Amino acid sequence: MDEQRGQTEQMRVSTRDLGELRERMRSWLTGRLGRPVAVSRLSQPSSNGMSSETLLFDASWDAPEGRRDIECVARMAPASEAVPVFPSYDLGRQFEVMRMVRERAGVPAPRALWFEPDAGPMGAPFFVMERLTGDVPPDVMPYTFEGWLLDARRADQDRLQRQSVEILARLHDAPFTAEELGTVTSHRSGGSALREHVDGQRAYYEWAHGAMRIPVLERAFAWLEEHWPADSGPAVLSWGDARIGNVMYQDFTPVAVLDWEMAGVAPRELDIAWMIFLHRFFQDVAEVFGLPGMPDFMRREDVCRTYQEITGYSPRDMEFYEMYAALRHGVIMARVWHRRIHFGEQPMPEDPDDLVMHRASIERMLDGSYWG
């Protein structure tokens, strides 16, 4: 249990000096806007997010129309010595996806302000977006342990759940063109969107873990091949990291949809299953510690029914997509453990399957008891 509690603690994401970053940001904004800019209160958030670096700061300057004061968030590609979670960080694509979903799908992504592809000014490419205020269900400590969502009335929890599913419905039903969808995927093999997505995930597994084999994940890959859907359905713009921990709420209503770095093109079920499984993941952690958690929240039947009511589309093959969600999460979390080992925060386990915090869930999926 101590190891599991340790994995819910904040992950180290930066090796950079904040004072130096503040001065670099001030200099860059001054050049970008063509007038002196003051940068203040630069800091890093204390919870959520394990991949790219996030900086919070205020920017102020005098403009022809008057004084401008903006609360900002910058997302930076991590330094190479920080053992990045992902092999590459296409921040330009993230910037474009945020603009697209805000303008074309009506999804409340933060307003994208500036993108800088050159690593020179800040030591890595980055983009800046508006900073909004609200409540985010935390990963640390998990919202299933304590906090505003756990303590909320059931009616408010249900309202948050429905409006979170509505984000997916709005995104998936948006009329993006084939050309627009092509800007958010790097795969061009000509296969189905699901085939390309799974193949890309396999390549990510090979990159993330190299010569170290993680048997439970390889068994999950094999299970997917044995249970491949007969028809994977239409491909849509996929958020990729569709979970309530990436949404900011005010009065249980989404006001900001965050973290688009895993966006791609995939069947609708990929996002639906990820939203379901990621809650189940935190619910299982709560139960390990003897806590009640939120067992009636984000249940598959409720989420799928709501999605069908809104879109008219009935999600299918959900066991396949929940296994795929558990597998994807397992690859990422095992990579995160490697990062913790690098920083001396966690020992290397004797059994490589223990790199996957939720290995028991995957093993139960493999033997069929998970859905019993």
DSSP count for the chain of H helices, then E strands: 12, 9
Phi, psi at residue 37, to the nearest 5°? -125, 135
Reduced to 3 states (helix: H, G, I; strand: E, B; else coil), residue 264 is strand
Positive or negative torsion for Cα 41, 35, 76, 48: positive
Using N-to-C axis directions, what is the helix angle for 193-209 and 215-226, rounded to 10°?
170
Tokens, residue 305? 């029914």
- Verify whether residue 151 is a known catalytic residue: no
Catalytic residue among 58, 62, 231, 241: 241
Tokens, residue 15? 């090796």
Q: What is the Rg, in whole angstroms, of the alpha carbon atoms belonging to the chain?
A: 21
Burial of 316 by CB count in 10 Å (0-12 exposed, 13-18 middle, 19+ buried)?
middle
Reduced to 3 states (helix: H, G, I; strand: E, B; else coil), residue 63 is strand
Reduced to 3 states (helix: H, G, I; strand: E, B; else coil), residue 88 is coil
Hey, which residues does 256 pair with through a beta bridge?
A: 248
Residues marked active site are found at 241
